[in-house]
Amino acid sequence: MTASETVAPTTTPPAVETLRTTRGGTFGRLLRFAAANIRRRPERFVLAVLGIALAIAAVTVVRTISASFAITGADSVTRAVGDHAIWVVPAAGVEYDSKADALVAKGAPPALTLPDGWTGHQTIAGLWKSPHGHVAVYGDESLSGTQATLGTPLADRLGVSDGDTLSLPGQDVTVSVSGDSPILSVAPDVARAVVGDEGWWTADEPAKDEGRKDLGPLFGTAVGLPATTNPSETPAADGKGLVYDMTTGSGELSFAQKYASVFSGKVTNSALGLISIIGLILGFVIAISSFLASVQERRREFGIMSSIGLADEVLYFFLVESALVFVASWAIGVVGAGIAVWAVLPHLATPVAWLQASATVLAFLPAMAIVGAIVPVHRLLQQRPVALLSDS
Amino acid sequence: MLKYGLAYGLLSSRRRARQMLLPAITTATGAFLVVVVFAMSAGIKKQSASLGHADEIGHAIVLIAVTVLLVGVVEVAVATTRTIAHRTRELGVLGATGVRPEPVLVALLVEPVVSAFYGALGGAVLGAVVAFVLQALGLADSGVSVGGAVTGIVVAVLVSLVAAVVTSVVPTWRAVSRPPIKSLSAS
């Protein structure tokens, strides 16, 4: 064979084999990495999830009670005042009677003369201690002397159904059952005979003052009573009463919403709220402790990663692991809380309140998961890769 | 053999006192709350009554205090998993020299039991002291019940001990039943 001769290739050169990448993109790979680490120490994952889930369950139970109270507070004030602009309560104030599940006045409506152009009326609203328990009785001018309306739960409690006769002190009435109102509405005279002269005023502004945001002070000055938009403010014991301004500017909380927050605040500011927050802090300590233990055991692994320039990726690993721990804890915690609420507080909490509470607790999670991941990673990245690699 | 395991566990737990501090503190926090709730139950009932549904709220407070105690005790078990990981080779040596798993299990359970017991007792006694100090200062309007405090201490200590053993026994058993060669070759 001469040099000028060419040799025809008998085989084709092997194709460059590309390394197969794992499926699922970066996030999918991070998830698989986190899952692999969880499989390495499953008991620690289970314990961390258990501890945080218990803490989340405790907070969810308290928030469920609080949300139930908020719903109750908003409903009770809406039933009492409707959409009127002004609510004038007696000097003794009003109170929510938990047995009657409604607001009742603790004294006679203040004596006042409505200013010119204002419309309003007095509502008798008091408590009847019936043989079947406490019942809120409201006077309703649209009802005649023998008529009464009430909701189904109250009708069941009183043992009456639509069209039955209910014996009230001094008068028998024929009941009409509809809706779920916990209030027994009767004619004002009948209500006065049952609960005495207890109640409040509601009023609305004249057309010329419509849209004004100072209706409370305007009305209060005219009738000589102090006015407020804050439902947590109560009448002075030595005063004549208090005017609540129910109007709401755009973007402001309505009076019912403010009243609801006063109600829910009673729970969150009580021993219940304090204990549950301590529980949540302990749960967070468990999360941090568990991640720190994981960092300690994986120093060499992170040393290798840091030494090839993957220091930032360590944060992503921990963020994903932390997110998995907190999401699993949240799911177990809220389900556990739902079961606990159903078993221990069947009459107090509602499914809507539980859902609201679950959503509220979910709002805490991102911050907890991020801080839970950053603390151990920060501690890790304080050290040089060689220090991490040289540890036994 | 179990008594040797117990002695070995006590000696090693003395060496690891610092690592037992955090679980003891978290357990103490839960025990403190349980005792305060039990000792000041009259005041808590009064507060519950002001919220309405006194009985249900009262039950919820006890339930949540015990739940918080359990949260504190879980840290004991997390610390146990840390101990086990730290002592993997030691467990391998014990297994390779013919020590049976039962005494090793007892030795490893000493640490969670000691942290849970001392944590719960410390927190519970502190809770009782704080409750009585509040009463002496006139800050506990409805008084503090001695019976309630004692019940709280007993409940806190018993719940902590049982929860610590129950949550620690599975990871500990998994570690001691691992073949010694695997434990010895662990990095």
**ipTM of predicted assembly, 2 dp:** 0.86
Q: Looking at residue B51, what is its pLDDT?
A: 66
Q: What is the Cα–Cα distance from A64 to B53, expressed in whole angstroms?
A: 14
Does residue B128 register a pLDDT over 80?
yes
Mean pLDDT of all residues in B27-31: 94
Residues near A49 by beta carbon (within 8 Å), at least 6 away in sequence: A325, A328, A329, A332
- Contact of B19 with chain A, judged by CB distance below 8 Å, is answered with no
Q: Looking at residue A307, what is its pLDDT?
A: 84
Mean pLDDT of all residues in B119-141: 89
Give Cα B97 to chain centroid, integer Å.
32
Two tokens, residue B63: 């339930």
- Contact of A139 with chain B, judged by CB distance below 8 Å, is answered with no
Q: Looking at residue A33, what is its pLDDT?
A: 83
Considering only the C-alpha atoms of chain A, give the largest distance between any 2 of them, rounded to a whole number of Å. Answer: 133
Q: Looking at residue A2, what is its pLDDT?
A: 47
Q: Which of B165, B127, B118 is nearest to B20 (CA)?
A: B118
- Minimum Cα–Cα distance from B40: chain A residue: A271
- Contact of A92 with chain B, judged by CB distance below 8 Å, is answered with no
Q: Looking at residue A96, what is its pLDDT?
A: 87
Q: Which of A234, A123, A262, A209 is nearest to A226 (CA)?
A: A234
Instruction: Enumerate the residues of chain A whose CB falls inside 8 A of the CB of residue B70.
Output: 54
Q: Which of A272, A325, A347, A368 to mutate to test the interface with B (most CBs of B within 10 A)?
A: A272
Q: Looking at residue B17, what is its pLDDT?
A: 85
Burial label, A27 (beta-carbon count in 10 A; 0-12, 13-18, 19+):
exposed
Question: Which of A55, A98, A293 is closest, CB to CB, to B78?
Answer: A293
Which of the residue ranges A93-107, B49-63, B136-150 has the most confident prediction, judged by mean pLDDT?
A93-107
Question: Which of B26, B56, B187 is closest, CB to CB, to A282?
Answer: B26
Q: What is the Cα–Cα distance from A70 to A256, expressed in whole angstroms?
A: 9
Does residue B50 register a pLDDT over 80?
no
**Contact across the interface for B78 and A98, Cβ inside 8 Å:** no
Mean pLDDT of all residues in B62-77: 91
Separation in Å, CA of A287 to nearest CA in chain B = 9
Q: Looking at residue A389, what is its pLDDT?
A: 81
**Contact across the interface for B75 and A348, Cβ inside 8 Å:** no
Q: Which of B78, B134, B182 to mutate to test the interface with A (most CBs of A within 10 A)?
A: B78
**Contact across the interface for A48 and B78, Cβ inside 8 Å:** yes
Q: What is the Cα–Cα distance from B128 to B116, expressed in whole angstroms?
A: 18
**Contact across the interface for B171 and A47, Cβ inside 8 Å:** yes
Separation in Å, CA of A25 to nearest CA in chain B = 31
Q: Which of A49, A61, A234, A282 to mutate to test the interface with B (most CBs of B within 10 A)?
A: A282
Q: Looking at residue A1, what is its pLDDT?
A: 43
Two tokens, residue A264: 């829910």
Q: Which of A141, A179, A148 is nearest to A163 (CA)?
A: A148
Mean pLDDT of all residues in B103-128: 93
**Better pLDDT: A326 or B60:** A326
Q: Looking at residue A261, what is its pLDDT?
A: 84
Q: Which residues of chain A have pLDDT under 50?
A: 1-5
Mean pLDDT of all residues in B24-51: 84
Q: Looking at residue B187, what is its pLDDT?
A: 56
- Contact of B46 with chain A, judged by CB distance below 8 Å, is answered with no
Does residue B141 register a pLDDT over 90?
no
Q: Which of A375, A48, A103 is nearest to A259 (CA)?
A: A103
**Contact across the interface for A51 and B71, Cβ inside 8 Å:** yes
Give me the residue label for tokens 């927190």: B123
**Better pLDDT: B79 or A17:** B79
pTM for the whole thing? 0.79
Mean pLDDT of all residues in B91-102: 89
Q: Looking at residue A53, what is its pLDDT?
A: 94
Give me the residue label for tokens 């057309």: A207
Mean pLDDT of chain B: 88
